[in-house]
Chain A
Amino acid sequence: MLRVGQCLLPLSRSYCRCVHTTRLVKEDPRWPGWNVVVGIEVHAQIKSRQKLFSHALTSDLSEPPNTHVVSFDAAFPGTLPRLNPKCVELGVRTAIALNCQVQRRSAFDRKHYFYPDLPSGYQITQHYAPLATDGTLRLSEEDAVVRIKQIQLEQDTGKTTFDPRRRISTIDLNRAGTGLMEIVSEPDLRSPEEAGEYVRALQALLRSVGSSDGNMEQGSLRCDVNVSVNRQHESLGTRCEIKNLNSVKFMMVAITCEAFRQIELLEKGLPVIQETRGFDEASAATFSLRNKEDAPDYRYMPDPNLPPLLLDQTYINTIRQSMPELPQETRSRLLAQGLSERDADVLMAIDMGREVGYDGVLGHGAVAYFDTVSRGRDPKVVVNWITHELLGQLALRKETFKENRFSTEQLGELIDLVQSKRITGTSGRMLLRHILTHGSSEMPSKLAEKMSLFVSASDSTSLETWCKEVIEALPEEAQAVRNGNMNVLNKLVGRVMKTSKGRADAKAVRNALQDLLSTKM
């Protein structure tokens, strides 16, 4: 597989494209002899507390309609935009995470079209001078580098819902004016699977820097894909844009059927017409929305209210220095700490579900939890406790990690108690269950004391007592062991463990029993 590392150099775009078309593509059994070329425009809602140009709070789908609207959002006469610096900061964080050139000067433009959920009749976007350009995103599974053409800040629209029964459209402006990042890739993806990985990698990256939820189901991340096909060794074909895809799965299906549609046309000797298409999930087919001739003229105009956005190097450097860890960095770090690939993947998968805080405040997920607990402790032991015991118990309770109330202090102390053999592993697991069941905020050492779980020095005598009791209680089994039937020993050990309520250490019990039984022989 060809590495496209050359493209990272600041070469002219045409040269990059040139280099890129030579990227070797694995023959795809679905379309032998054909290349499928995909570029993706992602619209990611910025996770800011306030909207991009107004002080209205952003909202999620649970809010009643039109409750997060101020006069600017409804385009009342006399209102003016005021750029939210938090949105800029999150945009810059994203740009840095995608290795982009953050532009020292960018500007805002108006894109005009009439639609009821666009109250001002224009969307403020960055058409002529985007916030950042020329970035990259590495895909680890496909071992490819996707070039990011640009990132621009823009406003989201409101929502129009058609009520067919009453034959009216209702408009909700809660979303109107929420900040979006439009992240445009170059046509560097070569299969539906690569496209899927690209979007997932981007989601993980946005979440890790705290700039967006990246939640496709909730609509906070939406994709438009450009698909073209060409015969191998021929130049790129005519592309079609498929709009408004709202899950990774459907996006991949849409790309696949669009590729088939275009190949079928070309094989019949018919041309592919450049157009915008929709995707019908039910029939798994794309359909024409409008062709190039119908394409609207958006009459882009520099926004006369908003001065150019000037970012000085100090500002960019400050953000660069306080960048949160990116997913690939986290993974390498976890592996370097001795975690298995599987454990690292488990932690990071759970991390994806963590809350993304407003205005770039980073949510604490499984990785941060692990980092806190493993400070000064053996990372491998800690990850075992988290993945096997804690996550296992949460799963049994059908609780997510987000709902976990078992604090890092509790787990840390619990692990210390077990590791120092002050309590047994069995007691430790029992304590963990107890704390989860009761939602207890008491420290494990307190509970262990209350429940007499400490393995004290005097326990050697109690151990002997428990063993003697069990031997007396189960004389036949004891005799069998004496006769050399070691399988029966386990039954005795189990009984002692039960009598001791888990305070006894299974290994010690086994030794003690063997001692007692062999002495009597």
Chain B
Amino acid sequence: MLRPLRCSGHLRALNILGYHARLITSQATYDKNADINALVFTASETARKSVGTGPLREVSVAVKDNICTSDMPTSCSSPMLRNFHSPFDATVVQLLRSAGADIIGKANCDEFGMGSLNVYSVHGPVVNPHEPNERRSAGGSSGGSAAAVAAGMCDVSLGTDTGGSIRLPAAYCGVVGLKPSYGVISRWGVVSFADSLDCVGIMARSVKQVQRVFGTLGQYDYRDPSAATPETREKASQACSRSMQEWLSISQGGSLQGLRIGIPQEYFPAELSSSITESLRHVIDALQSRGAQVIPVSLPSTPYALSAYYVIASAEASSNMARYDGVEYGLRVDPPPGADTTKTANVYALTRSKGFGKEVQRRILLGAYALTADAFDNYFLQAQRVRKLIRADFNKIFHVANPLNSTHSPEPQSEVRGVHVLLHPSAIRTAPPLDDALIRDDGLEAYVQDVLTVPASLAGLPALNVPAGLAEDGWPVGVSVVAQWGCDEMAMEVGKIIQEIVP
């Protein structure tokens, strides 16, 4: 007996065709989804039959519901777009399809990607599949994508990461999650939350699988104005390869001599739980025992990152959410008879009050305030200055020079070689229970979840969550590997090594 899905209304395609026998997705997957609520729409078999013969043949992929698909709804988990069908496929979806991937459905997420626990969703929260009975959060905002991979419902999933939305759920669910360098994977067709930070990323159970999909998706797309140009990509790729030669060639023999790993001292805040530190220490010890050099480093602007992030992300969100007005598409709440319709705002308020959840409304207000003429300098511009400092912090400690900086800084001196990658905990704790006070409470404490992930977002750097075993409470812990812009491959090579050494 197939159990009804949490939001059965979203499985329309399924109902029309008759679910039995027609779906590749197994009964077990359905049962699983009923428990964890990872998928909010499942592709019909007809849509999935068009699977071609490409490098991703027979790779099953779930796509986060804020990435546009022409054959499935794109709700962004928002009441505003609950019945929205995009007229086009996102570039990443096109690339997946033409590489032969099997897109199984759309993954649950926080509304428009705003949230760290995947509880702000019109489809209901995602339950962490590690132990569904415990009803813990899968993390957010790409909670559905992480949970679907962790539960074995698909091989790979696409998520988006604005301030940690891939790395955090990947850490909570115990899967690999890559937030690539900003501008490397096309954002065309990805519903904007904060354009200067949004990245499409990849989740899978192994780094190898992530790497494979990254090879397909990391393409220049002229439709994305912030896409890195082919020349910049080439420049970055060469710099990355040169830097990896220092250690990769010998690492085949098991030795990691020449690999310099930085441990940023600011990434161990008071809120960090001790069992997380323990797991990280195991990883560090293992790396060191294989010859890697572990170097304490400092990124002094880190303490300001979280505030800067929330100002910038909210400001951009308030701007990007302005288009949802009930005129062209999406939800529309008509004014009641006799309502004052002389002002546009009066009419829009009805739709926007109903169509946005409380977290989105909160960020719109926060962001709109930060952009008002009186607050702009103190908030938005100040946050941009902090962002610059954070970028500079990173550029100072990496071995590879930032390919985006046009000014050629001289190669670091021989004594100060700079680190290849940074290693730090991905989250301050393991997945919190869904009925935790943290989640019930609407205060800003929830934002602290992102304290370890936002710096890489502000700097646009590639950051990879790699599972690092279980904590004392038996729940997954993740570590993050962060590399210089354009050195996604380097982060993944180190990630592969970590996956080898973690039991």
Interface residues in chain A, defined as those with a beta carbon under 8 Å from any beta carbon in chain B: 71, 74-83, 110, 112, 114-116, 119-122, 171, 297, 299-301, 304-307
Q: How far is the CB of B77 from chain A (nearest CB, A)?
A: 13
Given contacts A71-B88, A304-B195, contact A77 B323 (CB under 8 A): yes
Q: Quick one: closest A residue to B76, CB to CB?
A: A77
Q: Name the one of B84, B224, B323 contacting A75, with C-beta atoms under 8 angstroms.
A: B323
Q: Name the one of A76, A110, A112, A307 contacting B329, with C-beta atoms under 8 angstroms.
A: A76
Interface centre among A81, A297, A304, A306 (most CB of B within 10 A): A304
Please tell me if the beta carbons of B225 and A122 are within 8 angstroms of each other in the complex: no
Q: Quick one: closest A residue to B224, CB to CB?
A: A80
Q: Name the one of A76, A122, A307 contacting B226, with C-beta atoms under 8 angstroms.
A: A307
Please tell me if the beta carbons of A116 and B316 are within 8 angstroms of each other in the complex: no
Given contacts A78-B88, A122-B319, contact A307 B225 (CB under 8 A): yes
Q: Name the one of A75, A76, A112, A121 contacting B371, with C-beta atoms under 8 angstroms.
A: A112
Q: Is B144 located at the chain interface by the 8 A CB criterion?
A: no
Which A-B residue pairs are the 7 nearest by beta carbons?
Answer: A121-B322, A304-B196, A299-B371, A304-B195, A75-B323, A77-B191, A78-B189
Q: How far is the CB of B175 from chain A (nearest CB, A)?
A: 25
Interface string of B61-92 (1 = CB under 8 A from A): 00000011000001010000100101110100
Please count how many residues in chain B sit with their CB below 8 Å of the partner chain's CB atoms.
Answer: 44
Q: Name the one of A81, A121, A304 contacting B325, with C-beta atoms under 8 angstroms.
A: A121
Q: How far is the CA of A306 from the CA of B316 in the complex (A)?
A: 13
Q: Is B398 located at the chain interface by the 8 A CB criterion?
A: no
Q: How far is the CB of B95 from chain A (nearest CB, A)?
A: 15
Please tell me if the beta carbons of A77 and B322 are within 8 angstroms of each other in the complex: no
Q: Which residues from A are CB-within-8-Å of B323? A: 75, 77, 119-121
Q: How far is the CA of A119 from the CA of B224 in the complex (A)?
A: 20
Q: Is B372 located at the chain interface by the 8 A CB criterion?
A: yes
Please tell me if the beta carbons of A119 and B328 are within 8 angstroms of each other in the complex: yes
Interface string of B368-409 (1 = CB under 8 A from A): 100111001000100000000000000000000000000000
Q: Which residues from A are CB-within-8-Å of B90? A: 78
Q: How far is the CA of A120 from the CA of B88 in the complex (A)?
A: 18
Q: Which residues from A are CB-within-8-Å of B67? A: 78
Q: Which residues from A are CB-within-8-Å of B189? A: 78-79
Q: Which residues from B are CB-within-8-Å of A300? A: 371, 376
Please tell me if the beta carbons of A304 and B316 are within 8 angstroms of each other in the complex: yes
Please tell me if the beta carbons of B328 and A76 are within 8 angstroms of each other in the complex: yes
Q: How far is the CA of A82 from the CA of B225 in the complex (A)?
A: 6
Please tell me if the beta carbons of B86 and A78 are within 8 angstroms of each other in the complex: yes
Q: Which residues from A are CB-within-8-Å of B187? A: 80
**Can you report 5 A-B residue pairs in the complex whose CB atoms are below 8 A from each other?**
A74-B328, A77-B76, A78-B189, A80-B195, A304-B316
Q: How far is the CA of A297 from the CA of B371 in the complex (A)?
A: 9
Q: How far is the CA of A122 from the CA of B322 in the complex (A)?
A: 7
Q: How far is the CA of A82 from the CA of B88 in the complex (A)?
A: 17
Q: Which residues from A are CB-within-8-Å of B309? A: none
Q: Which residues from B are CB-within-8-Å of A71? A: 87-88
Please tell me if the beta carbons of B226 and A114 are within 8 angstroms of each other in the complex: no
Q: How far is the CA of A171 from the CA of B326 in the complex (A)?
A: 13
Please tell me if the beta carbons of A119 and B327 are within 8 angstroms of each other in the complex: yes
Q: Which residues from A are CB-within-8-Å of B322? A: 112, 114, 120-122
Q: Which residues from A are CB-within-8-Å of B371? A: 112, 299-301
Q: Quick one: closest A residue to B183, CB to CB?
A: A307
Q: How far is the CB of A280 from chain B (nearest CB, A)?
A: 19
Q: Is B222 located at the chain interface by the 8 A CB criterion?
A: yes
Q: Which residues from A are CB-within-8-Å of B226? A: 80, 304-305, 307
Q: How far is the CA of A76 from the CA of B315 in the complex (A)?
A: 20
Q: Which residues from B are CB-within-8-Å of A114? A: 322, 325, 344-345, 348
Q: For chain B residues 325-344, which have a beta carbon within 8 Å of chain A? A: 325, 327-329, 344
Q: Is B116 located at the chain interface by the 8 A CB criterion?
A: no
Q: Which residues from B are CB-within-8-Å of A76? A: 86-87, 328-329
Q: Which residues from A are CB-within-8-Å of B120? A: none
Q: For chain B residues 143-173, which have a beta carbon within 8 Å of chain A? A: none
Q: Is B223 located at the chain interface by the 8 A CB criterion?
A: yes
Q: Name the one of B190, B315, B319, B329 contacting A121, with C-beta atoms under 8 angstroms.
A: B319
Please tell me if the beta carbons of A78 and B225 are within 8 angstroms of each other in the complex: no
Q: Which residues from B are CB-within-8-Å of A119? A: 323, 325, 327-328
Q: Which residues from A are CB-within-8-Å of B345? A: 114
Q: Which residues from B are CB-within-8-Å of A307? A: 225-226
Q: Name the one of B68, B86, B224, B316 contacting A301, with C-beta atoms under 8 angstroms.
A: B316
Q: Quick one: closest B residue to A117, CB to CB?
A: B327
Q: How far is the CA of A78 from the CA of B380 in the complex (A)?
A: 24
Please tell me if the beta carbons of B194 and A304 are within 8 angstroms of each other in the complex: yes
Q: Is B480 located at the chain interface by the 8 A CB criterion?
A: no
Q: Name the one of A75, A121, A301, A305 contacting B225, with C-beta atoms under 8 angstroms.
A: A305
Q: How far is the CA of A115 from the CA of B325 in the complex (A)?
A: 9
Q: Which residues from B are CB-within-8-Å of A82? A: 222-223, 225
Q: Which residues from A are CB-within-8-Å of B356? A: none
Please tell me if the beta carbons of A171 and B74 are within 8 angstroms of each other in the complex: no
Q: How far is the CB of B402 from chain A (nearest CB, A)?
A: 16
Please tell me if the beta carbons of B87 and A171 are within 8 angstroms of each other in the complex: no
Q: Is B188 located at the chain interface by the 8 A CB criterion?
A: yes
Q: Is B141 located at the chain interface by the 8 A CB criterion?
A: no
